[in-house]
Amino acid sequence: MERSIEYAPAAKNTARALRCFGKSAFTLFHTPSHETLHVDSERLSCGNYQPMMPSIQEMMEELNTLLLQREIVSSGELLGKADRIMLSSVLMQFSDHSGITSNDLEVVPDFSSIAQLKDMFVARSAKDGCLNAVQQFDEALRFAGDDIRRALMLLWAASRQYARWLDSSILLNELTTKNDRLHEMQEWRCTLRAYKTIDRGPQDPAGDTYYMWTHALAHYAWYEMAAGNSLFNNAAAKIFWHGTEMMHGIVHRLNRQSVDSDHRIAACYGNYFGEAIVAHVRLEYKGGFLR
């Protein structure tokens, strides 16, 4: 396994990062008016049952096998203070609400990259059926040249944009008509396995998938991408680990979801995925010893 580590430039606008963080937190409770394509997409999909995701145990076994088969690379700069704040902000809230742009966080992929990943999902699902989480990760690794960091960023960005389409300020695109955007979202949804059955409310596989990859990325980011104090980073990782529980337990009681979807099962998958990926990376770097 190869690793290239550099430190991000210190001259980042921490003040702007803090403002964006504050706006992200505020808009969790007071959502600004916005287009609700995700509601339309889920209504259009009503009755289109997606097959279920295998168990966490099965997925962990498949993930470990995949990681051992690949020549994993972990490259890129460690994130400094401003970038860590920006990443936290964009993980917890859509960029269209927080005002974060593509210039604020360089680690976020561009829209053309997530569009290519979607096309890869469509092609593989046509051959193998709806993709489970390991198959999704496999496709992202192929696209990213086996770079774990880039693969996780791609999965997070693609899954959230195609689930909710509320990140266009950070994923600049030219899809201007509602029908075009809905088509992209529906095409993505059809490639995915679901985390819950339809008898529990909207199946919302796209929403669950973005929660899953948000949790996986957050765990990896705070343990492997963040510079600075390890105690603080570990504490931040623990907060994100419980993020969905806090969203459902606090935020959604005060600010109701537009799609009434419980994402806790997907979050659990994401936490365990992130944990397994970090464990694998650390074993590789430390010659078999976890740090």
60-98 tens-digit pLDDT:
999 999 999 999 888 778 899 899 999 999 999 999 999
185-227 tens-digit pLDDT:
999 999 999 999 877 677 899 999 999 999 999 999 999 998 8
pTM: 0.88
Separation CA 153–CA 132 (nearest Å):
18
Q: Residue 7: pLDDT above 50?
A: no
What is the rounded average pLDDT of the residues 247-255?
62
Separation CA 157–CA 153 (nearest Å):
6
Query: Which one is predicted more confidently, 69 or 1?
Result: 69
Burial 161-194 (b: 16+ CB within 10 A, else e): bbbbbbbbbbbebeeeeeeebbebbbebbbbbbb
Domain residues of the chain, as ranges?
51-285
Backbone angles phi, psi at 74, to 5 degrees: -130, 105
**Which residues, other chains included, contact 99 with Cβ-Cβ below 8 Å and sequence gap of 6+?**
20, 23, 169
